[in-house]
Each structure stands twice: as C-alpha cells, then as structure tokens.
Structure 1
Amino acid sequence: MADRITANLPARDMAETAEFYAALGFVPGYRSDGWMILERGALELEFFHAPGLIPAESWHSACIRVDDLDALYDSFAGADLPATPRAIPRLTPPERLPDPEVPRLFFLVDLNGSLLRCLEN
C-alpha cells in the first residue's frame, strides 16, 4: 500500500454527511455512533461526530490531490452545488491561482463548513 493520509473532519449529523458525500461518489467504509469513514476509490475521508458545530465558523480543511482534476470536478459537479461565494455547501470551478507554484485546483465546502482543496498532482 502506498503512503497516504486521511482527513479527519467534523460532521454535525452522520447520516446527512453520508448522504451529502454519496452525491459526490463516496461510499461508506465504516460507521459507528461517533466515527465514519467514506471512500471514493483511493480517496478516503474520516468524520467524527460534532453535533455542536456551526458550519459558518468551521476552520476544518483537507487537501485532495488527484491526477485528473477535471474528471473529479465533473463528477462532483453532478451534485449540483452552488458556486456562490460564502454558500455552504459550495463547489467552485477549477482555476489556476496567480502563484505559479500552486497547481490547478478547485474548492469544495461541505455541509459542515469544511473546506476541501482539490489539487492537480
């Protein structure tokens, strides 16, 4: 198995979080009352139960690095999330930032307010 890291993100409601990520192609890998693992191929997200979380105040984030950024974006776009700034949840289109050291990326903010930076390898 290759080296990897998995994100640990908060979930106000485990069922709602699982449903949100199912629309993005993630399937359950493990679930208990306080912990959940969702998988999409080699991508894995872990969630801990955080019922008092206020999404607009969340500072949680993770990076997802993939070889085919456009395919991932197209798949996520099928969930029909708004791209409106500050909307929770939201999905922004792929872009290249002014810094040439930063790869192409897009942003996903989930229903819990967690920011996922999706970057091209």
Structure 2
Amino acid sequence: MTKPDRITANLPSRDFQRTCDFYALLGFNVIYRDTSWLILARGTLELEFFHHPDLKPEDSWFSACIRVDDLDGLRAKWAALNLPDDPMGRPRSLTMIDDGGPIRFFALIDRDGSLLRCMGNEGT
C-alpha cells in the first residue's frame, strides 16, 4: 500500500502575490494567507511559505519533496505549461530522472529559487 500524495515543506517567499501567481499555474490555490504566512494547496498537496523579502534566489538552499502516485501525469501537466526559466536563468527542468533505482523523480525550481523534487510514491 502506498502513502497518499503529500508535501511537508516550509519555503521562503519574497512576495506572496508572485508566489500565489506562480503556483496557481501549477494548480495550487490559497487556503490561508496573512502578512507573514501563506498556505497553498493542490488537492492533498500543501505548501507553506514564510515571508522572506530579503532572500536572494541565487543563494536559496530551500527544497521540498512532492510525492505523488501519478508522477508521469503530474510531469505531463506541468511540462505542458511551458514555464519560464527561473530567476537565475536556469531552465525549469521537468526531465524525468530514472536511474533504475526505486525512486523516479523530476525537479522544478520556483521563482524564489526553491527546488521541488517531484517523486513517485512507489518505493517509499
């Protein structure tokens, strides 16, 4: 039996509205927002953000793992969006990584430099 789709993450946001706009493209909706905290949800997936106006995306070391049952479906939906490159000019790679191990994944970098590792629930 696999675990349900889930995220456990606290990520920085320089600007909550820009964060909301970017993640809305990925299908996330605001479920809570005040001046210092933001929570977005996409079905059972939730991401929480703290306000960090002085963050430099190129210095970000923040990351989160998104674990889902339908990894290929999620990748296809997000790849179809043709997202712009990240703030540092790096491509928002949605290339599937499958090294023959038990976990397959793809990665996405958000507007504030946070790395999202999207992984299949199989093998976890």
Structure 1 runs of 4+ with >6 Å offset: none
Q: 2:79 aligns with which of 77, 88, 102?
A: 77
Q: Contact 1:83–1:90 (CA<8 Å) still a contact in 2?
A: yes
In the TM superposition, residue 19 of structure 1 has moved relative to its aligned partner by 0.2
Q: Contact 1:83–1:93 (CA<8 Å) still a contact in 2?
A: no
% same residue: 53
Q: Contact 1:88–1:110 (CA<8 Å) still a contact in 2?
A: no
Higher relative contact order (CA 8 A, sep 6+): 2
Show structure 1 runs of 5+ residues with no match: none
Q: Does 1:97 align with 2:99?
A: yes
Show structure 2 runs of 5+ residues with no match: none
Q: What is the alpha-carbon distance in structure 2 between the residues aligned to residue 36 and residue 108 of structure 1? A: 20
Q: Does 1:8 align with 2:6?
A: no
User: What pairs with 1:1-121 in structure 2 (closer than 5 Å)?
Assistant: 6-82=8-84, 87-88=89-90, 90-97=92-99, 100-101=101-102, 103-121=103-121
Cα pair distance change 1:83/1:74, threshold 3 Å: farther
With normalisation by structure 2, the TM-score equals 0.84
CA deviation vs aligned residue, 1:22-81 (integer Å, no higher than 9, x gap) = 000000010001100000001000000000000011000010111110111112123312
With normalisation by structure 1, the TM-score equals 0.86
